[in-house]
Each structure stands twice: as structure tokens, then as C-alpha cells.
């Protein structure tokens, strides 16, 4: 067995076929899942720490093994433990909301109710596509009350970019940006 320190955090262990026999190791079954292999690998790590002066205390160890001339080569990397994994949350800057109405009358009822109750809604556009009417809200959350009204008369649909593009391309735009206020004013009694 030879132990060679590559740098301050890496050590190369070379086990010949005799070492493999002495330790009763087989490359195919070597790993931490096998209790015998785990015991031998831990013993090898202790030998490495003694010979090189490296410490495995408070360190993560990465062991990589490769077969070599009826024996094997094991690369041991000593890594600093991270105190805590950072978690990042991706904020979505306002998702689009899309509601489908089978009849234009249902959409007009929903829009006039939202308008008459003076509920805040983001900019919205109305499209007609394949005999259905789509009310698209752009990049702002809807209030619960507005969602209830819209769900009473229509059905919410996932609003992927590809769908919005096809709606823009093949659909007919009935009312642009301020659909709620424009249609609300026009149809309110």
C-alpha cells in the first residue's frame, strides 16, 4: 500500500492485489453499504490521517475508487463541512392569470360585478379564440373576491407563455390593457 499526499486536501491510496487480499476487499463490493468494506475504509482513512497529519474531524470525506492492476486506487478528498445549506426562493414577478368564459354574457357579468364593487385588478385584456372568451390579467395578484367572482362565471386556466403567444397570434383581441374599467363602464347600469 502506498499513500501519497497530492495537496492539502487530497490523498491518493494505492492498494495492490496483495493488499486487497490482506484486507479481504473486492473492488466490485467495495463501498460504505458493505459493513466489512466500511470498516476497512475507515481503517485506511485513520492510517492516512496518521501518516499525513490531516484530520477528518469536522470534515466531509469524498472517496473515489478506481480499479488498477488487480488492486485499486482510492482518492480521498477532505472537504470543509458547510454550516448550513442556503436555500434560495425564486420570486415570480407577478404571474399572469387567465379565465375562460364559454359565453360573452358570463364574462360581461363577471367584469361588471368586479367594476361595480371597485375591486382592484391589474391590467387585463380580453380575447376571443375558438368560440371562447379569455380574460387575461397581467403580472399582478388578484384579490380573493375578484377570484371568486371570476370563478363563478368562468374557469381558471394555466397561463403559459406559449398559450399567451398563440392567443396573441390566432385570437382576436376584443379589449386591450384596461379591459375591466373599459367594459365595466360600458356595461354598468
CA distance 31 to 116: 70
Predicted model pTM? 0.49
Q: What does the mean pLDDT of the chain come to?
A: 85
Q: What is the DSSP string of 17-40?
A: HHHHHHTT--GGG-STTSHHHHHH
Inform me whether the pLDDT recorded for 77 exceeds 70.
Answer: yes
Long-range Cβ contacts of 43-46 (<8 Å, 24+ apart): 44/13, 44/74, 45/76
Residue with cell 484486507: 23
- In the beta sheet, which residues pair with residue 64? 75
- Helix-, strand-, coil-residue percentages of the chain, each rounded to 5: 35, 30, 35
Asked whether 47 and 11 are in contact (CB, 8 A), the reply is: no
Q: Are strands 2-7 and 10-15 parallel, antiparallel or unpaired?
A: antiparallel
Inform me whether the pLDDT recorded for 56 exceeds 60.
Answer: yes
Asked whether 185 and 135 are in contact (CB, 8 A), the reply is: no
Per DSSP, the three-state class of 67 is strand
Asked whether 110 and 70 are in contact (CB, 8 A), the reply is: no
Give mean pLDDT, residues 25-42.
Answer: 84
At 94-137, the pLDDT tens digits run 568 899 999 999 999 999 998 888 887 778 889 999 999 999 88
The band of 91, judged by pLDDT with boundaries at 50, 70 and 90, is low
CA distance 174 to 144: 25
Amino acid at each position: 500500500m502506498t499513500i501519497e499526499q497530492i495537496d492539502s486536501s487530497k490523498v491518493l491510496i494505492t492498494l495492490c492485489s496483495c493488499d486487497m487480499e490482506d484486507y479481504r476487499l473486492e473492488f466490485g463490493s467495495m463501498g460504505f453499504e458493505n459493513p466489512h468494506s466500511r470498516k476497512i475504509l475507515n481503517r485506511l482513512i485513520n492510517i492516512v490521517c496518521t501518516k499525513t497529519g490531516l484530520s477528518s474531524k469536522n470534515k466531509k470525506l469524498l472517496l473515489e475508487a478506481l480499479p488498477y492492476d488487480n488492486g485499486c486506487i482510492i482518492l480521498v478528498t477532505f472537504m470543509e463541512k458547510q454550516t448550513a445549506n442556503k436555500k434560495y426562493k425564486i420570486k415570480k414577478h407577478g404571474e399572469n392569470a387567465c379565465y375562460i368564459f364559454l359565453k360573452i354574457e358570463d364574462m360581461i357579468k363577471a367584469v361588471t360585478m368586479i367594476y361595480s364593487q371597485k375591486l382592484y385588478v391589474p391590467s387585463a385584456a380580453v380575447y376571443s379564440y375558438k368560440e371562447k372568451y379569455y380574460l387575461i390579467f397581467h403580472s399582478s395578484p388578484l384579490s380573493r373576491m375578484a377570484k371568486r367572482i371570476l370563478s363563478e362565471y368562468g374557469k381558471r386556466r394555466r397561463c403559459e407563455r406559449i398559450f399567451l403567444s398563440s392567443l396573441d397570434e390566432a385570437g382576436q383581441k376584443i379589449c386591450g390593457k384596461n379591459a375591466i374599467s373599459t367594459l365595466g363602464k360600458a356595461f354598468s347600469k
